[in-house]
Amino acid sequence: MNFIEKYKQKGWSFEFGYDDAYQIENLERGEITHKKIICKLSEKNFNDYINKTETKELINKFDKKTVLIVNGEIRNASEFIKWADKIKNYTDFYFYTDKSSFLSIHKSHRDFLEKISSGFCFSEEDEFYQEALKKVKHQNNMLQWLKFKQSLYKWKKEWQVKGFRTILRMRSDIAFLNPYLLEYNIKQGFLNSVSKGNMLLRSDIIFAFDIEDTKLLADFYDEIFSFYLSEDWINYPYIPLNPDFIIRAKGSTRIEWNNFPTKYIGINPSKNMFFERICCYYQELKNDFKNYSFIKNNNSEKRLNHFGNLSSVRNQPSKIFASERCFAHYLVSKGINSTSHNHLFSGKLIRKRVKKIRIFKNFLILNLKRSIKFLVTNETYNSLKKIYIN
């Protein structure tokens, strides 16, 4: 029985996304134009911020409240170090990355990052990281969570000794739309926005959380294998969730990419329709959460019989780990308030542009290789034909 109701969806894109992913064919012309304008504005605001020369007073013993960690590849290094130079006096930087990746950036950039960092770790030199890789096969998008887990275990006590209360986990390739507002919140430790059980997120791209939640977040890596890739979850990827946390997650995580009963959300609703129907069926969802959460373990058939067919805003196979979808589900299932960042983390993801001449060159080389292969194959075939016929 096909219990997941879906239709064929075209690809999802971040191309003009400064905050969200979307299907470009479902956008109106005006929406695309608006997204392009905001992306250009974010690049302008970010470049103005990092390139502005200003004389600052000497900062003596600033009371730092935020730790900033980058776990993964350091992209867009030239712009990132300019941004880091602006806020290095207000936060402590920690990096957990691959040495092979780190050595690929310019030496001057490497020297700067090592100089400003309070902690630096390479995955190749971490025996626990390497041991984890041997135990089970990893998709590429799982490695960020292994690095994240190791970062928290390695430096948590150090952060507590220093008196930090807020951790900002981020990527290095975001052209922030509101860089001055982000700087202010880093200085303030995201006061009144982040506390135990309350996070500020832009999906799994960048998020701020309280140091008391480090263990819960570190444990997500283990649940990837024990829960989200378990046979029971793959067979029926739904358990009742508290609708209060689902509604609060709007604009912060991709909770709408998870599967929910069609009797509540319909078949492949839009994002806005998803949250509309969650609100409409709030009481039914609340009752399910109170009365049937106990059947979540090893009872995929019981869940199917009780809740029926499933659907989602975005169709993704359950047997493949989808980072944003699973992370959103994990937070809601653990009772974490996933709060919208309200453009605090908004900004275009910076991608290296490949010049048209390079694309043409690669296309030409590819076709040349195919032609040579074709000619060699035919020549070999004709030679063998002559041998056997004669």
Q: Which domain holds residue 184?
A: 62-221
pLDDT tens per residue, range 47-65? 999 999 865 555 667 899 9
- CB of 14 within 8 A of CB of 173? no
349 assigned to some structural domain? no
Domain CATH number, residue 88: 3.90.550
Which segments in the chain show pLDDT lower than 50?
Answer: 1, 354-360, 384, 390
Helix 77-87, helix 179-188: angle, nearest 10: 50
- Bridge partners, 3 (sequence order): none
- CB of 66 within 8 A of CB of 164? yes
Distances (CA, A) of 321 to 219, 223, 313: 16, 11, 17
pLDDT at 137: 94
328 assigned to some structural domain? no
pLDDT at 12: 76
> How far is the C-alpha of 326 from the C-alpha of 355, rounded, in Å?
36
202 assigned to some structural domain? yes
260 assigned to some structural domain? no
234 assigned to some structural domain? no
134 assigned to some structural domain? yes
Tokens of 369: 């290789």
Residue 168: name the closest of 133, 211, 127, 136 by CA: 211
Task: Work out the burial of residue 30: count CB atoms within 10 Å of its CB; fewer than 13 is exposed, 13-18 middle, 19 or more buried.
Answer: exposed
- CB of 233 within 8 A of CB of 323? no
Domain tally, the chain: 1
133 assigned to some structural domain? yes
Buried b or exposed e, range 107-137, using 16+ CB within 10 angstroms: eeebebbeebbbbebbbeebeebeebeeeee
pLDDT at 350: 87
347 assigned to some structural domain? no
- What is the torsion angle, in degrees rounded to the nearest 10, for the CA atoms of residue 260, residue 297, residue 214 and residue 323? -40
Buried b or exposed e, range 225-239, using 16+ CB within 10 angstroms: eebbbeebbeebbbb
